[in-house]
Amino acid sequence: MKRIIISGGGTGGHIYPAITIYKEIAAMTDAEFLYIGTEKGLEATLVPKEGIPFKTLPVEGLNRNLSVRALVTLGKTLGSLVKANRIISEFKPDIVIGTGGYVCGPILLAAALRHVPTLIQEQNTIGGITNKILSRFVDVVAVGFEEAQKAFVKAKRIVYTGNPVRPEVLVDTREEGRSFFNLQNDEFAVLIAGGSRGARSINTAMIEVHKHFKDKKGIKLIHVTGTGEYERVLDALGIKDGQAYSETSVILPYLHEMPKALAAADLAVFRAGAVGLAELTVRGIPSILIPYPYAAEDHQTYNARALVSAGAARMIVDKMLQGNDLIGEIEYFMQNPAERARMSVAAKALGKPQAAHDIAQLALDIAK
């Protein structure tokens, strides 16, 4: 039986790929797993819910300015290396897999220095700082975008696998998705989502979009505001929770049935996080991307550009976004089915539905 450590932390963009890879390996072989995360990160909530044994390291992002806080962080990092080394000794993994975030540093470095096989999975076109450092030590870097290979010139081995997509995204047919949202055949379905907490700039622009398309036939706006933005959007539209704004608009704080919405959508308005883009491309959905401008090293802009240059998406810069821009883009796509079809083919060409399986197989191939 294989013994496998998986680590990834901080944001859902690191944690969801880790969980998807875990599930894929578990389906392929008998294995014992251990997940390494932090106490404060989102992984401390998500990972135990999946029933994966979970341990933490006291690690934080290094502050580049010399200060007392930076020295405390450095001390925690050194302490986490000692603890990571102890975990390696006790668990005796056959492979250690990292999907990004500061917590990956100590456990992957400890494993690599002890010649335990190691793999990192980089989701973005611009490699994260932890993964860039680790790439000099680990056995394999699996990249989600072809463009990301340039970030890892010192790596021993790079494999372009694409980003892992949760299996449920691939299950529903278009007919099932559209039936779930009660969509007619001739209705143009737009899925708008800015992440679990919501994207203020997108939601603000969408207020004008909802007003413009109110009760117009032939279009349905499925708008997932994020839990933190839901009440603000409802207030701006003059409605209360549970009230419908119009037959055209479906406004939700959160959507558990996102795979069904993806199956139903003709067009998506999204941020440009790697996980969301992987799901859009495997479903072949044309998109309008508004990258989050404060992402580390502006990686969302680079992610978006990869889709734009492939002809799979159009991009609006966050600070330039206005309601009229979105209205114009949506109307353009409604009126140009041939362009939609072309972009759908381009998006699907970028999609890697087998990515999770390929990464899992790669990990098993290099495991001791």
Residue 4 pLDDT > 50: yes
Whether residue 156 sits in one domain with residue 221? no
Q: How many angstroms from the chain centroid is the CA of residue 285?
A: 16
Looking up tokens 């959507």 gives 255
| pLDDT of 234 strictly over 90 | yes
Specify binding-site residues: 11-13, 124, 166, 196, 300
| Summary mean pLDDT of the chain | 93
Q: What is the CATH number of the domain that holds 117?
A: 3.40.50.2000
List, in sequence order, every beta strand (DSSP E) within the chain.
Answer: 2-7, 31-37, 54-56, 95-98, 118-122, 140-143, 158-160, 188-193, 219-224, 249-252, 267-270, 287-289, 313-315
Q: 142 with 11, same domain?
A: yes
How many independent structural domains does the chain possess? 2
Inform me whether the pLDDT recorded for 204 exceeds 80: yes
Looking at the fold, whether 115 and 253 belong to one and the same domain comes out as: no
Instruction: Characterize 168-188 residue by residue with b for buried, 16 or more Cβ atoms within 10 angstroms of its Cβ, and e for exposed.
Output: ebeebeeeebbeebebeeebb
Do residues 191 and 203 share a domain? yes
- Region 323-349: mean pLDDT is 97
Contact 6, 16 (CB under 8 A): no
Do 104 and 229 share a domain, yes or no? no
Q: Where does 194-322 have alpha helices with state H? A: 200-213, 230-237, 258-264, 274-283, 299-309
Q: Residue 158's domain spans which residues?
A: 2-165+353-366
Q: Are both 250 and 277 inside the same structural domain?
A: yes
pLDDT at 60: 65
Do 213 and 329 belong together in one domain? Answer: yes
Residues that constitute the known binding site for UDP-N-acetyl-alpha-D-glucosamine: 11-13, 124, 166, 196, 300
Query: Same domain, yes or no, for 129 and 248?
Result: no
pLDDT at 66: 43
Residues 235 and 332 in one domain: yes
What is the pLDDT, as a whole number, of residue 74? 44
Residues 57-83: tens digit of each pLDDT: 998 654 444 444 443 444 556 778 999
What type of residue is 81?
L
